Amino acid sequence: MMIYILGSTVAGLYLGRAASAFNAVTNMLAFDFFFVPPAFSFEVEDTQYLFSLAVMLVVAIVIANLMVTIRRNSQTAQARERRTALLYAMSRELAIANDADAIVGVAVRHICAVFHSKAVVLLADDLGRLESPVASDEPVDFAHAEAVAASGVRSHKGGIYLPLQGSRRKLGVIVVWPQPAARMLSAEKSLLLDNFAAQLALSLERAQLAEAAEAARFAAERAALRNTLLTSISHDLRTPLAAIAGAGSLIAQPDYALNSDRRTTLGQLIERKARDMSQLLSNVLELMRMEFATGNLRTDWHAIEDLVALALRSHASRIGQRQLVVDLPPDLPEVLVDATLIVQILDNLLENAAKYTPLGTKITISASAGIGSIVLAVCDDGPGLPPGDPERLFEKFQRGRAESNVVGVGLGLAICRAAARLHGGDIRACNNPGGGACFEITLPMLSQVDALPSPELVA
């Protein structure tokens, strides 16, 4: 009897519910025929065997049903696990994709691989019209696709048309052609395809929202940059323009006696103010050029002392009344840099030192070689940095002291940072322990062997 019940259990594990019930009844009849007296007949002489056969039949059917239920639950769990794994694999790649084309490519690739089919995604434009796919081997019924997108209900017409519906508007339609064409998807795969379509719709909407947010952020930044630029330039151009206008009005007065000294003074005033205005505009254009640079620098090997000498040559007159100390070790290696940009960094730092430190202060230019980098520092013993975060000084249109008679729009240090980062380095500001400000430029140090192109590139 136990062997027959075991057979019913095995049948319930591998067969359906009807087959398991039939097996249980057959096992009960076989036990009655072979083992219940009289043997080899279905007659039962003792009533206790009737009870045993009934119990055997009930137990066999219950166990078979339990085994069928366990098998179905196991299959459902496995299918759910497989569906979850497939959805996770696709969602992980969709999370990395950052635009609609990449998202569509990931979704089509996964759908074709999982369902052994061909697929194409018809995206909707801003007006809700479906766009033609780049390439498709199968014919697409655009009228039917438009109807599916409008109704939001999947449909079958030569293929499976599934709408991609976002929270605010329709995003498109995905069309799937099972291979071979006559093959139909099972209920499980049909549900999985719906989940794939929902995941694709969420990713497309995320990409659209991210693109809209990025566009809004760029628009806000452009507006803020334009307003700040107009405010800063208008403020800093007003003073030199007023001086030029005043000097011009004096020259234009017929009763104003222009001797040699007055003519020289007014001419120098106009020239100096015009040069200040030109410098302001040059700084704006230079910063824009660096921010939109592609990273192609005109680099060459230069000695640090040569770069410092070039910068000092153009600022000799402005820092002449200050004590200048140049502390450069003799064994500094050469650096692979764009000399124009490095000299411009030093120019801006020396100009700031000349602007914001009183006469008689000391300006020190030093350099040191570290592990893989060279640190070039421009320090002074003036009033030091203004209160607050020193990193704020490197922002565009940020001046050290808002209320100041010094001409400038706050672009010098922003240009320094942009130029340093184009070289793979950086610049930072700090206060000297003994008073004053210090700006440290960090530049990567490469050997000439490291900088040589590979033979493949040379060939």
The whole-angstrom separation of Cα 25 and Cα 280 is 100
CATH of the domain at 259: 1.10.287
Please give the structure tokens belonging to residue 68. Answer: 């069928």
pTM tops 0.85, yes or no: no
Last residue in a domain, options 291, 310, 339: 291
Tens digits of per-residue pLDDT, 425-436? 999 999 888 788
Measured in whole angstroms, the distance separating CA 316 from the mean position of its chain's CA atoms is 46
The pLDDT score that the predictor gives to residue 433 is 82
Mean per-residue pLDDT for 55-73?
78
Task: Please indicate, yes or no, if residue 93 is contained in any of the structural domains.
Answer: no
| Higher pLDDT pick, 138 / 190 | 190
Residue 155 lies inside a defined structural domain of this protein: yes
Shared domain for 114 and 219, answered yes or no, is no
343 with 423, same domain: the answer is yes
**For residue 128, what are its two tokens?**
């809700």
| 433 falls within a domain | yes
In this structure, the dihedral spanned by the alpha carbons of residues 444, 450, 454 and 457, taken in order and rounded to 10 degrees, is: 30
Residues 200 and 313 in one domain: no
List, for residues 205-241, the tens digit of each pLDDT value. Answer: 888 888 888 888 888 877 776 676 666 566 666 777 7
Residue 377: the pLDDT is 92
| Domain membership flag for residue 96 | no
Task: Tell me, yes or no, whether 94 lies in a domain.
Answer: no
List CB contacts of 329: < 8 A, sequence separation 6 or more.
367, 368, 369
Tell me, yes or no, whether 323 and 403 share the same domain. yes
pLDDT tens sequence across 78-118: 877 877 787 788 888 888 887 888 888 888 888 888 887 88
Q: What percent of the chain has pLDDT over 90?
A: 6
Q: 293-339: per-residue pLDDT in tens?
A: 555 678 889 999 999 998 888 777 667 678 888 989 988 888 899 88
Q: Could you tell me the two tokens for 353?
A: 């030192």
Which of 48-57, 70-79, 328-337, 439-448 has maximum average pLDDT?
328-337
Burial class (CB in 10 A: 0-12, 13-18, 19+), 67: buried
**Whether residue 246 sits in one domain with residue 376:** no
Of the residues 260, 291, 322, the one at which a domain ends: 291
Q: Any idea which residue has 């959805």 for tokens?
A: 87
Same domain, 194 and 229: no
- Residue 247's Cα: distance from chain center in Å? 54
Q: Are residues 343 and 446 in the same domain?
A: yes
- Residue 35 CB coordination number (10 Å): 11
Non-local (6+) Cβ contacts of 157 within 8 A are: 141, 144
**Tokens representing 150?**
């409008």
Residue 112 belongs to a domain: yes
Cα-flanking dihedrals φ and ψ of residue 325, to 5°?
-125, 125
What CA–CA distance (Å, rounded) separates 275 from 278? 5
Alpha carbons 5 and 14: distance in angstroms, whole number: 15
Whether 380 and 402 share a structural domain: yes
Please report whether residue 243 resides in a domain.
yes
Do residues 16 and 52 both lie within one domain?
Answer: yes
Q: What is the CATH number of the domain that holds 351?
A: 3.30.565.10
Residues 112 and 195 in one domain: yes
Per-residue pLDDT band at 456 (split at 50, 70, 90): very low
Q: Which domain holds residue 225?
A: 214-291
pLDDT at 228: 62
Torsion angle of C-alpha atoms 70, 72, 77, 81, degrees rounded to 10? 140
Number of domains in the chain: 4
- Cβ 131 vs Cβ 184: under 8 Å: no
Task: Let me know if 76 is exposed, middle or buried by CB neighbors in 10 A (0-12, 13-18, 19+).
Answer: exposed
Task: Kindly give the pairing relationship between strand 373-380 and strand 362-369.
Answer: antiparallel
Question: Is 421 part of any domain?
Answer: yes
Give the residue from 245, 262, 291 where a domain finishes.
291
- Residue 372 shares a structural domain with residue 344: yes
Neighbours of 304 (CB within 10 A): 21
pLDDT at 375: 92
Dihedral over Cα of 366, 427, 229, 436: its sign: negative
Which CATH number do you get for residue 202? 3.30.450.40
270 with 316, same domain: the answer is no
DSSP 124: B
